[in-house]
A = this chain, B = another copy of it.
Amino acid sequence: MIQAITEVMDQKLAEDPRVMLLGEDIGVNGGVFRATDGLVEKYGEDRVVDTPLAESGIVGTSIGLAMNGKIPIVEIQFLAFIYPAFEQVVSHAARMRYRSRGQFEVPMVIRTPYGAGIRGPELHSESVESFFAHTPGLKVVVPGSPYDAKGLLVSAIEDRDPVIFLEPTKLYRAFKEEVPEELYRVPLGKAKVVKEGTDLTIFSWGAMLREAVNAASKLEKEKGMSCEVVDLRTLYPLDRDTIIESVKKTGRAVVVHEAHKTAGLGGEVISLINDEALIYLKAPVKRITGFDVPVPMFSVEEDYMPTLERVKRGIEETVNF
């Protein structure tokens, strides 16, 4: 996935002189995950900028850059380090268009690695997408595959609104997938049915998608269950139609996410289902999520996240309700 992301930035830098990258260690170092490797050599320090260590500074100046004709792609080193910039994101980036009634706009992308599962230190494994999904004016995107990473990032860069682009660290180097070389777009706001099924729908995104798909295939083989897997991909705004359509078909659903359960986006998915498809439900929609504890030290992080086992049993309980 990381190559797909680098490729987009490379191509966009080449194609559109307005595009700039900003972040900590993204220059000669190429970023801590090497997402920007080689780009400063190719496009120079004016376009690939190693910033001072100050996230509010990065996002705040990027807002100014964006209002004045640039398209900044910001890298926040890890999701939790966006907190110093929280005010700039929530009170400004998300609202500039609104407040100015369209006179000023902030077309920018904030890319940031997120999620647990790669033995990161404390605060390197957070999954707080719901903060941003509660902030009108922002879009929140999470690619679940290299192909989508490329297509969604292109769409995010071309979008005229600020996009929080969350990159699941666990997927960075997780699987190989051929990705077209040319630029293509995967539309924001559209979920993807990764696997069709009839007994139950698994809604998921990011790194948890793999557990979802694995659980679905295992249960298919082991118990002959037919699970549909939906990658929500854009978390704000959600693709309600795809969600509802699937639940109407299967009548059962689980949501799998690694974020904390309480006030996580599982609740939003459930609420949409409750609104539109309650009468189709044959069982409560189960949330299989990270626990309501701070993401723990990595020695136990695998048990913090929904494991394949938990996902499987959650599905079985829902099917056997």
A residues whose Cβ falls under 8 Å from a Cβ of B:
56, 80, 83-84, 86-87, 90-91, 94-95, 98-99, 122-123, 128, 130-131, 133-137, 236-238, 259-260, 262-268, 270-271, 274-275, 278, 281, 283-287, 292-294
Pairwise interchain contact B137-A130, C-beta atoms closer than 8 A = no
Residues in B with CB closer than 8 Å to A264 are: 134
Q: Is the interface of A mostly helix, strand, loop or mixed?
A: mixed
Complex Cα–Cα for A281 and B283 (A): 12
Q: What are 9 A-B interface contacts by the 8 Å CB criterion?
A: A83-B91, A86-B87, A130-B263, A131-B131, A136-B293, A136-B294, A267-B267, A271-B287, A278-B283
Bound-state Cα–Cα, A33 to B302, Å: 47
Check B237–A262 contact: CB distance below 8 A.
yes
Q: Select the residue from A86, A266, A274, A281 with max chain B CB neighbours within 10 A.
A: A274
Q: Output the least CB separation between A167 and chain B (Å).
A: 20
B267 touches A275 (CB 8 A): no
B131→A134 contact, CB < 8 A: yes
Task: With both chains docked as a complex, state the minimum distance between the C-beta of A249 and any C-beta of chain B, in angstroms.
Answer: 19
